[in-house]
């Protein structure tokens, strides 16, 4: 695929951020004329998790905390991410593990689940 240059901003580069954790990925994407304005420094362009999130999701199911009543298409993430074992996930939510092993969960719901442990540092288990 060739890139159509933006008349004003040329290759119009942006650093894609991870849809899950919101951290910048180690890559640059050239948007060119595909993006109407000048591309922002960071932009979430797809729902592909970054390497770190893929690594975490391989250990269990990621619970990504979002604000209550947030926009479902573009949820506002609080930055808190907890990884639970598959068995624990099934036990807590009484449902199958999501295909990408990533679940968004509202703050209030997570607090309820975590109880006293909420807010304390949860170490990754090996």
Give the residues lining the site for Zn ion (CB under 5 A).
Answer: 18, 20-21, 50, 53
Residue nearest to Zn ion (CB): 18
Q: Is 16 helix (H, G, I), strand (E, B) or coil?
A: strand
Query: Which element (helix H / strand E) includes 77?
Result: strand 77-84
Shortest distance (Å) from residue 109 CB to Zn ion: 21
CA distance linking residue 17 with residue 15, whole number of Å: 6
Closer CB to Zn ion, residue 42 or residue 90? 42
Shortest distance (Å) from residue 43 CB to Zn ion: 14
Closer CB to Zn ion, residue 100 or residue 111? 100
CA distance linking residue 78 with residue 60, whole number of Å: 20
Shortest distance (Å) from residue 55 CB to Zn ion: 9
Shortest distance (Å) from residue 76 CB to Zn ion: 15
Closer CB to Zn ion, residue 16 or residue 32? 16
Burial class of residue 37, CB neighbours in 10 A (0-12, 13-18, 19+): exposed
């Amino acid at each position: 695929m060739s890139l159509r240059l933006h008349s004003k901003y040329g290759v119009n580069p942006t650093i894609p951020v991870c849809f899950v954790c919101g951290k910048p990925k180690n890559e640059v994407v050239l948007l060119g004329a595909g993006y109407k304005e000048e591309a922002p420094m960071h932009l979430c362009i797809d729902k592909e998790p970054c390497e770190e999130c893929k690594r975490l999701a391989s250990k269990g199911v990621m619970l990504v905390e979002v604000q209550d009543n947030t926009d479902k298409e573009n949820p506002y993430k609080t930055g808190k991410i907890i990884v639970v074992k598959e068995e624990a996930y099934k036990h807590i939510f009484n449902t199958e593990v999501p295909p990408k092993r990533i679940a968004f969960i509202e703050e209030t719901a997570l607090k309820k689940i975590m109880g006293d442990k909420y807010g304390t540092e949860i170490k990754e288990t090996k």
